[in-house]
Structure 1
Amino acid sequence: MGASTSELDRMLFQGELFRPEAERLLERCGPGPGARALDVGCGPLGIVDLLAGRVGADGEVVGLDVQEEMVERARLEAAERGLGNVRLVHGDAARSGEQPATFDFVHTRLVLMNVPHCDAVLKEMIALARHGGIVAVQDVDWVTRLCDPPHPAWERLVDVITELWRLNGMDVHLGRRLPRLLRDAGLVDVRVDASARVFQPDHPYQTLLVERAELCRDALVDRGLITSGELDRCVAELRSHLAEPGTVVVHPLLFQAWGRRPEDTAA
């Protein structure tokens, strides 16, 4: 999705929006004082601040992101928040360069759905977890991505973006598969939970689908999934529909899945 200033700001907003869900996840499986934790694809902050509070001064949190702009913004955010136990690293999620089997807790949010090599990323995450450590993943499933009253422009944009993701080797329905992916990758004691948010016209995420479509405009048109003119019409019609007081939007279902790297065998 790029790393423009507006996108960095959106991701920070998103992190605050989904803070309660992240806190619930960490209450269930998060690290304790003195632990080492890794947030893969942390963006401009991710959950590194939440992890920093849990591991304390004797622990360490590493935030990893492939985009330098994300890492630089995360460093600024960490400094402003006084997070002295946080280290931000520029690197590939599938080839992190971190020491294997050294983290008590390894986490990623909204990354696997947006990369074609999600299996490689998950494999690296498990390799980085110590034996007995926890690997936790948060990602969405577009099964609940809907608006009411329905509108043809909504359905059209959902369909073309879903197809764009498929053509690029990604899956907007990845969320439901997370528990199976963790088990197939060798984790044990796998658990799962899911929740969804509902938005109305006074919420910034009411128009998130429209903004995603505009951000992907070139790719959608170049792939022949929609013409530029049709995209303009859909965007205009949908913005008007979403602004109606009675229109509600259901956000994609957020799945949280976590499991433990076995003590006695390599994952």
Structure 2
Amino acid sequence: MTGVDPPSDGGRAPGHGRYGEQVFRPEERGEDERIDLGALAYDETTMARLRLLGAGPGWTCLDVGAGTGTVARRLLAEAGVESVLAVDRDVRFLAAHPVPGLTALEADVTADAFSPGAFRLVHVRFVLMHLPAADRMVTKLAGLVAPGGVLVVSDAVDLTTELAPVTPYTRAMQAMWQGLGDSIGTDVSRVPRHPELLRAAGLEPVAAEIHVPPLEPGSPISRFWADTWGRAREAMVATGLVDDAGIDEAVRYLNSPACTALSAGMLTAWGWKREEAP
């Protein structure tokens, strides 16, 4: 990657690793199941928004960071869109579930050469927060939206701030965000700026919403975080904010009726590209 945003945390330089290499490697057993747990927690909200924005017959769609392809397949099966180009740096999970109308493209969207065309819908979820220079990435993605189309971006919003009650969960989450920042440059502190970035990229009108799935014992989101901590354990412990015993305690807390914590929210922002003047 080129062009790194200035550190936003008082001087700590962002990590130089990459998602899928240092952590969350697709070749690790069960990584597709972890991704699908996140999909179970967030897909209904995503699909509801995309349908409200009008996604349907005749629409061509670009799904960036498509993961296992749950949103891409639902756009085809439920919304009836014309086609979906599903892009990821590793498409093994997409290739495992082919459906008519879905094309899997293995590519790095940050590369200068990435220019797959123009689409009525460009959707990107849980990607920008892991990349440097989010403003330039939003501008690039806006350039892939056809006139009259819409760019939809979703990322995590951290609710374990200094005002949140101190629990095993908050300690684990704070260690996770810092550990991912140290290792691969993840920065969710920038996510509330997404609507502003969409407007700066020339899109309007722009709007946004937040969904916070409930943390209940055995729920998909609770299982997702437990699995995510397991895969990010080394980076979390390296922060000094939590140790192995603390992570194990946080997992038990998630599965107990004593859990009163708030999961990370998913902020979704969207902006429209104006129709070209006749």
Smaller-chain TM-score bracket: 0.7 to 0.9
1:91 aligned residue (104, 107, 110): 107
**What's the TM-score, normalizing by structure 2?**
0.78
Counterparts in 2 of 1:45 and 1:99: CA distance versus 1, 3 Å: closer
1:22 aligned residue (46, 55, 58): 46
Within 2, Cα distance between the matches of 1:99 and 1:210? 36
**How far 1:207 sits from its partner (Å)?**
5.1
CA RMSD of aligned residues (A): 2.8
**How far 1:213 sits from its partner (Å)?**
3.2
Within 1, Cα distance between the matches of 2:65 and 2:136? 14
Counterparts in 2 of 1:172 and 1:97: CA distance versus 1, 3 Å: closer
Q: Deviations over 1:188-214 (max 9, x none)?
A: 100111121112223243254444333
Higher helix share: 1
Structure 2 contact 47–71 (Cα < 8 Å) conserved? no
Partner of 1:183: 199
Q: Which runs of 5+ in 2 are unaligned?
A: 1-23
2:188 aligned residue (158, 172, 188): 172
Q: Trace 1:223-242 onto structure 2 (pairs within 5 A).
A: 224-226=238-240, 231-242=243-254
Higher strand share: 1
Within 2, Cα distance between the matches of 1:13 and 1:164? 21
Partner of 2:94: 74
**How many residues of Structure 1 are paired with residues of Structure 2 in the alignment?**
250
Within 2, Cα distance between the matches of 1:8 and 1:145? 30
Within 2, Cα distance between the matches of 1:156 and 1:65? 31
Within 2, Cα distance between the matches of 1:199 and 1:175? 21
Relative contact order higher in (CA < 8 Å, ≥ 6 apart): 2
Indicate whether 1:157 and 2:177 are aligned: no
Q: Alignment identity in percent?
A: 24
**How far 1:40 sits from its partner (Å)?**
0.3
Within 2, Cα distance between the matches of 1:207 and 1:150? 21
SS of match in other structure, 1:188 = coil
Within 1, Cα distance between the matches of 2:196 and 2:173? 25
**How far 1:24 sits from its partner (Å)?**
1.4
